[in-house]
Structure 1
């Protein structure tokens, strides 16, 4: 036990302090959303904050990964964290001088998103450098756990701090968490050097192409990434449809409970990679867990009228996500050479996550323009009302059924393709 703690000392330091910093950033982001909604009353304006944060992640990831592989990982993380913290200071100054506007926040969020785009692949490589291979699965579970806890905790903490003490306190907590992470990384962590022959003079575009070339020449990794892009398309559409299903029928409070169940399920599921032994085939685990999730949750929410069953559906849909993510992480860390990980992880970010904004858009579009109008026309048809109910929300139930069929088809077809890419260690 003592030897294992000693082996993973650096991991525990980075994991705890960076998770704390991520929580602080998430709290500020949520509080700024509350502040903007108070000022504008516009859901679209607040949604644009997320879009501004997310856009650099999708658009610039490939080049960010090349930058990560070109320069020192620790320095890259420190610089990105410092610049992101400075944007928080700018927000504080603008807020205190009563000159903060939504356009400031859009620009600041876009810049912070760009810093995260560069920092994220650098941190992934850093974890690979300090974690022995035999602990990849366990440490991936820890990473999934912290992400799950942050997703649950940040709205509650942000709402409480913002409501009781105001935006000043929220920003102070964020900057304190940043300072802890920055000091820990600067003074207590030493990352091994990577000797790969990459010159700092090499063109970033050339390095980015090398990441894409590696994926093209490694169909195992590319197939898993494209499969997850399909899963993300369905899952993000689900996120857009869920409030349209629950709120009209049960109200905001039930929607909050149903949404919280996904976070709780992910927290519970985060322990699975820590306690389960190595699977015989990690690729099979990836597509079977997603088949279980997408093949049950969407249908359950489509046909159920009970909030209890909706909660059960959320648990089924999310409890195995950390296990899937941990197995994908282990495969990528073992297959991708350490000197290429930054640029390949960045290519992964673009290819795997570009479907999320598309899914969000399509999910909302189909509900508003196709499914709800269709169910309104069929409001007196006993067949359709038996399947999906009646009134507002029935169209969303119909869309859940469509997503269930789509997600199941993606998993079955991809599973047949992925069978030839059995991965064992």
Structure 2
């Protein structure tokens, strides 16, 4: 067993350096984002205004991803990641300066998030392909589990550390910590990580950017199982984005909620994801990855939304977070292994970028719908309900009850949306 551990460590040691340092940097970025969400909601008191922060991040990502993948397949992966991270750091510096001079406004954050989203459009496919280049195929499931584990730890630590720093210091200290994490990841990647180049690049160099982008879409059209699976995730992302837009609005507004309650729910979400990540890292490959993916999403959609809708206190909300997120890393890892083993590595940048456009275009739509529905539909609707109304009986009264009613609606929609894809023959053919 010790020998197997030593062999695994030797085969993955470069990946481990990149994984650990980039995860540390992600923690700093997530803490800054968390602090700015709280700042914007306290300043504006609007779920729609806060949701627009995420919309601005995802809009350029969705619109330009399909072309970014073609560039990613041509460019040096290491240089692309270094430049993208440096640009993101400059954006964070600008936030720090505006805060220090008391000139920060919400439109500044919209602009900065848009620029960050633009750079992430190029960085993400480069990072995805780098994992395939650094990790042997036999370790793909283990690597996916480790990445889910780090994401889970970031989710756990972000609200705890960010809330603690906000309570005892200020948002500027959170941003300073972000700088430290960026510098650590930058130095490690620059001096200690060598990302191999893709061997078969001749055909890519002879094609135009538009032709390369079309080839990613053409690959998906020719592989309907992968395309249908991506569209399945697009529907789930739409529901999840409405969920993410509604969660801060409900917990920060409801009696028994607040910043501490929001932090607890986010922390428990991270613990649940960490548990699922550890599980998938050590489990043997399943007989049917497609069945695991579909069943995990159906279970998630059928649990947490209803717990948040009917729950009136933090323990119930935390229980919902456990049920909703514990199997998401299992789903994600199996999805990742399917894609990495089926899609040729020389095509992955273009295909992943086409996937990003198709799978994630519903995220800004979901955030926009979520913020609008809370501010303009569900909260006004619940505000005029009498105390003996069936809606008040189900989800309670007062500010935040409209968001709770929205959770009930998306719970039903999310569960029903899984059923057509469970019967999709093209998806099941991926098992062949």
* 1:231 matched residue in structure 2: 236
Q: Give, in angstroms, the shift of residue 341 of structure 1.
A: 0.8
Tell whether 2:183 aligns with 1:176.
Answer: no
Of 351-360 and 137-146, the range deviating more from structure 2: 351-360
Q: How many residues are paired up?
A: 424
Q: What's the counterpart of residue 33 of structure 2?
A: 29
Assess if the C-alpha contact under 8 Å between 2:237 and 2:359 holds in 1. Answer: yes
Match of 1:250 among 245, 252, 256: 256
Counterpart Cα distance in 1 of 2:312 and 2:50? 30
The structural deviation recorded for 1:257 is: 3.0
CA shift, 1:410, in A, is: 1.0
Shift in Å, 1:133: 1.0
- Paired with 2:69 and 2:85, the residues of 1 have a C-alpha distance of 16
Alpha carbons of 1:91 and 1:394: their partners in 2 closer, same or farther (altered >3 Å)?
A: closer
- Aligned residue for 2:83? 79
> Is residue 204 of structure 1 aligned with residue 204 of structure 2?
no
What is the deviation of 1:126? 0.3
Residues 270-290 of structure 1: per-residue CA shift (max 9 Å, x gap): 212112110111111111001
More displaced 10-residue stretch of structure 1: 368-377 or 127-136: 368-377
- Aligned pairs for 1:137-286 (under 5 A) are 137-161=141-165, 164=168, 166=170, 169-194=173-198, 195-200=200-205, 202-243=207-248, 245-246=250-251, 247-252=253-258, 253-286=260-293
1:144 CA drift (Å):
1.0
Could you tell which deviates more after superposition, 6-15 or 61-70? 61-70
- Range moving further from structure 2, 159-168 or 347-356: 159-168
Distance 1:5 1:177 in 2: 24
Instruction: Extract unaligned runs of 5+ from structure 2.
Output: none
1:111-156 per-position Cα deviation (integer Å, ceiling 9, x unaligned): 2221122111101100001111111111111111111222232233
**Is the 1:66–1:207 contact (alpha carbons within 8 Å) kept by the matching residues of 2?**
yes
Structure-2 separation of matches of 1:98 and 1:381: 47
Corresponding residue number in structure 2 for 1:337: 344
Q: How does the TM-score come out when normalised to structure 2?
A: 0.87
User: 1:266, CA displacement in angstroms?
Assistant: 1.4
SS at match of 2:194: coil
> How much does 1:349 deviate?
1.5
Query: Paired residue for 2:417?
Result: 410
Q: Counterpart of 1:8 in 2: which secondary structure?
A: helix
CA separation of 1:103 and 1:190: change in aligned 2, threshold 3 A: same
The equivalent residue for 1:126 is 130
> Structure 1 residues 57-66 or 131-140, which shifts more?
57-66
After superposition, the Cα gap between the structure-2 partners of 1:30 and 1:366, relative to the gap in structure 1 and judged at 3 Å, is closer
Instruction: Give the CA RMSD over aligned residues.
Output: 2.9
The one of 2, 6, 12 equivalent to 2:6 is: 2
Q: So what's the TM-score if we normalise by structure 1?
A: 0.88
User: Which ranges in structure 1 are unaligned for 5 or more consecutive residues?
Assistant: none
- Determine if contact 1:70/1:198 at 8 Å carries over to the other structure: no
1:14-47 deviation digits (Å, cap 9, x = unpaired): 1001111222222333445566677x55656555
Query: Taking structure 1 as reference, are residues 219 and 381 closer, same or farther at Cα in structure 2, changes over 3 Å only?
Result: same
Q: Which moved more, 1:63-72 or 1:10-19?
A: 63-72
Q: Deviations over 1:236-292 (max 9, x none)?
A: 222333455554343324444334322221122221211211011111111100111
Q: Is contact 1:145-1:267 (8 Å) kept?
A: yes
Counterpart contact for 2:51–2:367, Cα < 8 Å: no
Contact 1:283 1:422 in 2 (8 A): no
